[in-house]
Amino acid sequence: MTAAYPATDMRTDTEVDVAVVGAGLAGVGLAARLRRAGRTGFAILERADDVGGTWRDNVYPGVACDIPSALYSYSFLPQPSWSRVFAPGAEIHEYVRDVARSEGLAPHLRLGTELSGARWDEDAATWHLTTSRGPLTSRVLVTAVGRLSDPRVPEIRGLGTFPGRVFHSARWDRELPAGLRVGVVGTGASAVQLVPEVARRAASVVVLQRTPPWVLPRGDRAYAPGEARPDRASLAEEADRLFEARIAGTTAEAALRERAEAHLHAQVPDPALRALLTPDYAVGCKRALFSDDWYPALQQPHVTLEPSAPVAIEGSTLVAASGARYEVDVLVLATGFETTRPPFAHLVTGRGGQTLAEHWAQGMTSHASTVVHGFPNLFVLDGPNAGLGHHSALEVIEAQVGYVLGALDHLDASGGPLEVSAAAEAAYTREVDRRAAGTVWLRGGCRSWYVDERSGRLTLLWPGRAAEYRERFGVFDPAPFVTDGVPAGAPPR
């Protein structure tokens, strides 16, 4: 497949109706729906030179989706020819590029354009954006930057003096030769995928584990030629039933733990190693991982599991908290992303000069996981409580896209800026907190990137089933909003 869109943007307008920041799955999905709705006055700002988001950035060996492929495409543009049960990252990237081509998004793409600021103009009721390609104004601003776009680099004494190659897993060195001594920091989703592949080419691998992950069997395989793909609707219903296992103390939670423990026992016969790989928290408290080759990789003779975090770099020596020392040529930081404190929030300034980061000083909040009081005509895709810990992210993203389209229709009819009320945001936050309280994400005994470290609140995930979110928030409801100080559903003054 080829993308068939230009490497640079074709539009030079300085004023648009809708500015979309980010050309990953959320931004491209919204743009496709805007075009289908007959809305052409929009621009997609993307700081990279291609669409694809996380699937463009992550090219490490073994990168793949951990959601069944059939659930990982837009419902309005299904991909009928995934090669495997769990799609490889390159295929997903190509799918997003194909959507940009087939939906005619080329005239709207502004690649290589980084947002450096966005300020709400109260008098003009517009957003003023500053970008690396010049200023832009828009009636509506949509952020679609995702939560896995800004790598988190740990503080390790001497890291800057390491003489070998060092990079984050999301900034993979494509020129990395075989036969090197590789150190991998972290045992999360990226590490579980890349370590087995790296071990095939490295002279030695040491994996530094601060906390072991729960790993479930994956069961990946290639589809046979002509084989029918699973039904998306049936898979979606099946995935939603997994939410029961995220409620602490349920039978479903206990059954999921038994399954994870059985997988560990079946693949790791050595009781000492198995003890090091057994988490002390509930399954799903941190992101549950899926792999059939992670445990076998750790038992290869040239692979070492170091059960402590790195504390220092001394020349080419990696020093662990346990005191163990390892000579390495390459250091891979599989250390995750800035999730609960998204950097883009510092760039967005709403009413009264308050930034989104200041509004979220005690953790991200919203109404419907999409709109924020004090920030008129702003919509945040894949933001506060918009993730799913048991299902495909596209379930919520598509609902949010429907919500934005309905809001645009309402704006066209009302004329005034659209701002959710403080009461509605507070009520939604209380609901999220109440429902999150009984989940493994808060009661499972772990620290995770789902939970805001300042407030202890669950701020990344929707604490419910995907079907409920779609039903409640897939269509815009003006009731919780004010338009120019008046409730959105009230008669005009």
Q: The domain spanning residue 250 has which CATH number?
A: 3.50.50.60
Co-location of 105 and 164 in the same domain:
no
Q: Is 379 helix (H, G, I), strand (E, B) or coil?
A: strand
pTM above 0.75, yes or no: yes
State yes or no: pLDDT of 5 exceeds 70. no
CA–CA separation, 286 and 69 (whole Å): 22
360 domain-assigned: yes
CB 149 within 8 A of CB 339: no
Co-location of 24 and 127 in the same domain:
yes
Beta strands (DSSP E) in 294-382 are 303-306, 310-314, 317-320, 325-327, 330-333, 348-349, 378-380
Co-location of 275 and 424 in the same domain:
no
Co-location of 130 and 233 in the same domain:
no
pLDDT tens digits, one per residue of 102-118: 999 999 999 999 999 99
Strand partners, 417: none
8 domain-assigned: no
Tokens of 468: 């409920």
Q: Which residues contact 372 (CB under 8 A, 6 or more apart)?
A: 350, 356, 359, 365, 366, 378, 380, 384, 420, 425
Sign of CA dihedral 429, 432, 437, 443: negative
Co-location of 445 and 355 in the same domain:
yes
State yes or no: pLDDT of 6 exceeds 70. no
CB 373 within 8 A of CB 419: yes
Domain total for the chain? 2
Co-location of 359 and 373 in the same domain:
yes
CB 73 within 8 A of CB 92: no
Owning domain of residue 133? 15-150+338-487
Q: How many CB atoms lie within 10 A of CB 40?
A: 13
Co-location of 277 and 388 in the same domain:
no
Co-location of 275 and 318 in the same domain:
yes
Co-location of 306 and 342 in the same domain:
no
The per-residue pLDDT for 149 is 87
Amino acid identity of 151?
A: P
4 domain-assigned: no
Last residue of one domain, picked from the residues 317, 333, 349: 333
| pLDDT band per the 50, 70, 90 thresholds, residue 488 | low
CB 188 within 8 A of CB 287: yes
493 domain-assigned: no
9 domain-assigned: no
> Which has the closest alpha carbon to 168: 367, 30, 5, 337?
337
249 domain-assigned: yes
Co-location of 70 and 134 in the same domain:
yes
Co-location of 381 and 475 in the same domain:
yes
**Can you tell me which residue has the tokens 């390609």?**
133
CA–CA separation, 265 and 279 (whole Å): 13
Last residue of one domain, picked from the residues 279, 313, 333: 333
Co-location of 393 and 457 in the same domain:
yes
More confident call, 131 vs 147: 131
| pLDDT band per the 50, 70, 90 thresholds, residue 482 | confident
2 domain-assigned: no
Last residue of one domain, picked from the residues 315, 333, 351: 333
216 domain-assigned: yes
pLDDT tens digits, one per residue of 347-391: 999 999 999 999 999 999 999 999 999 999 999 999 999 999 999
Using alpha carbons only, how large is the chain's radius of gyration in Å? 23
